Amino acid sequence: LVSLHYCSGQASNARSWFQSYSDQYGFIIITPNAGGNCFNAQASGGDQRADIGARVAYLVMQRNAEPKRVFASGLSSGACMTQALIAAYPDVFAGGSSLAGVPAGAWTGMNTVYGWTTAGTTTAQGWGDKVRAAYPGYMGKWGRMQIWHGEADTTLTYSQTWPYETGQWENVHGFMESDGVQANIRPAGASGNWNRTSFSRNGILLVETNHAAGIDHDLGPKGLWQDIVR
């Protein structure tokens, strides 16, 4: 599991979210530092995304890790980077969990400050195309995606990100919004209820979206880590 910190955070923050589960289940945690305030979450190969991919490849070789069970998760900047990694390296990452991020292709801030825009692209197809453009010609399976976003988020603003990040990954996996199965649930360990929509094919969950009223940008204290491991 590549665990990715928020802007101004550090690797130790990202490790603490999953350390007890790593101890319990035996998976390896990789915790990169952004090398600046934020991760450079552009939806393309190279730069920090390539460095992380190289670290994954090294551990697969040196620690005999299972190459088909590599995942990413992060908060805020780390959530943006999660979406970028799943877009740019679908042959490396089996899936990701994004907690308050932006869709792949929306990040503009390099690794210094928050910088993002969802202006100019309004359709799920258009956002899906940004994922496909991150790995031109790729014909394999795309990574599964779990998305969390609080409706009161004004940092990576919910109203400007949610329709596009969810539509993007539904499109990548060939779903329409009407294909989703909706539920209101309280995940194990969570401090509140979430509205969940699940998209499955042939019994395999491929996209899962979660949003909740009154929840702001900081999802770290919301007790979601156990459900992410699930």
Partnered with residue 205 across adjacent β-strands are: 200
Residue 206's pLDDT is what? Answer: 98
User: What is the pLDDT at residue 92?
Assistant: 96
Q: At what angle do helices 47-62 and 77-88 cross, to 10 degrees?
A: 70
Tens of pLDDT, residues 24-72:
999 999 999 998 889 999 999 888 899 999 999 999 999 989 999 999 9
The 10s digit of each residue's pLDDT in 115-143 is 899 999 999 999 999 999 999 999 999 99
Which residues, 6+ apart, have CB-to-CB distance to 1 below 8 Å?
18, 22, 27, 28, 29, 30, 70, 71, 72, 73
Share of the chain above pLDDT 70, in %: 100
Lowest mean pLDDT segment, chosen from 9-13, 33-37, 74-78:
33-37
Strand 194-201 vs strand 181-185: parallel, antiparallel, or unpaired? antiparallel
pLDDT of residue 114: 81
Catalytic residue, candidates 3, 20, 73, 76: 76
For residue range 81-98, what is the model confidence (pLDDT) as tens digits?
999 999 999 999 999 999
Tens-digit pLDDT profile for residues 194-217: 999 999 999 999 999 999 999 999
What's the pLDDT tens digit per position in 140-191?
999 999 999 999 999 999 999 999 999 999 999 999 999 999 999 999 999 9
181: enclosing H helix or E strand: strand 181-185
Q: 3: part of which helix (H) or strand (E)?
A: strand 2-4
pLDDT at res. 111: 80
- Give the pLDDT of residue 76: 97
Note if 76 is an active site residue.
yes
Confidence (pTM)? 0.96
